[in-house]
Amino acid sequence: MNHPRTLQEAIRYFTDPDNALAYMVRLRWPDGVVTCPKCGRTDVVFLKNQRKWQCKSTHDHRQFSAKVGTIFEDSPIPLDKWLTAVWMLSNCRNGISSYEIGRTIGVTQKSAWFMLHRIRLAMQGKSTVKLGGGGGEVEADETFIGGKARNMHKSVRMRRIQGQGFNVEDKTTVMGILERGGKIRAHVVPDRRKETLQPIVREHVNAGAALFTDELVGYQGLAGEYEHKIVDHATRYVDGKVHTNGMENFWSLLKRGLGGTYVSVEPFHLFRYLDEQVFRYNNRKNDNNKPIPDAQRFELAMSNILGKRITYAALTGKTDTTSIN
């Protein structure tokens, strides 16, 4: 088997430690020359029994593995389990819980939770290409993420719900920008004010693009920079090409994963789950509008594991240090 195409084939392929190590070597050192990450020497010695390399120079961390400099660094969990977890998270449409990952690959739920967040770090996208170039059409919308009233205890529901809906302070605001037929960008934002939303639009959308939003006051004032069209949701949801249904579709996918798979997500970690869903959405189809195979989506996720690392202390809020080498 040259390259696995399904989850079953991936598990079989990466269970062989030689295959897993060879895959990581090709990813870390594409030219085939293993280099010491500390001093850059290329005449390192491979320690077969430990599946590590040793640098001939005398310095700290002379011995190193293929995990060094990746999201897998300092993890005692073997590569076959890591690679299986990456395959599953990158290809499960509604996400996959740490409990299920733990049962599937044979680690504790706590370890699986930490693994998934490290993989989400690799899924973060930081494209500098603006949306809406060449006459593209762009939708901008926002939503609230939080608990549902029907799931709350009566006393909590009475305290939190005011009038016809939630107190906004009890939910987290998320903003999204979608280029029709293209990519999406999504961010956790503090509020829906003009001072918050409009700089994000300007950062991610080409000036002069067709911009479709709802009637929110926060978008008013963009008509001078964009072909800004508004749909009033109080009267209709679609007015010809003017609608935000593409963003509404993404919000539906996001909330299905958060509510159905993850059940409860702390606002502190919400942006990580957002990165995960954005990654899968942006890599669902290729330029020819055909579905991207699971193996290709796995490769895209793996291509971003280099130079990124987050510690458990940073992940749990004990320190604000996230190391990106």
Tokens of 108: 């504790």
Mean pLDDT of 119-123: 97
Check residue 127 and give its pLDDT.
83
Q: Is residue 292 part of a domain?
A: no
The pLDDT mean for the chain works out to: 91
Query: What is the average per-residue pLDDT within 278-305?
Result: 94
Does the pLDDT value for residue 160 go beyond 60? Answer: no
169-182 burial: b if 16+ Cβ within 10 Å, else e: eebbbbbbbbbeeb
- Whether residue 312 is predicted with pLDDT greater than 50 in this model: the reply is yes
The answer to whether residues 90 and 142 belong to one domain is no
Three-class secondary structure of residue 146 per DSSP: coil
Tell me which amino acid residue 258 is: L
Domain match, 169 and 251 both: yes
Tokens 């690799």: give the residue: 122
Residues 259 and 185 in one domain: yes
| Residue 162 is assigned to a structural domain of this protein | yes
**92-117, pLDDT tens digit by residue?**
999 999 999 999 999 999 999 999 99
Going by pLDDT thresholds of 50, 70 and 90, the confidence category of residue 177 is: very high
Q: Give the pLDDT score at 105.
A: 96
Neighbours of 208 (CB within 10 A): 12
Lowest mean pLDDT across 10-19, 163-172, 249-258: 163-172
pLDDT at residue 321 tops 60: no
CA angle 51, 37, 73 (to 5 degrees): 60
Instruction: Kindly state whether residue 309 falls inside one of the protein's structural domains.
Output: no
Do 67 and 177 share a domain, yes or no?
Answer: no
Is 89 part of any domain? yes
- Could you report the per-residue pLDDT of 28-66, keeping only the tens digit for each? 999 999 999 999 999 999 999 999 999 999 999 999 999
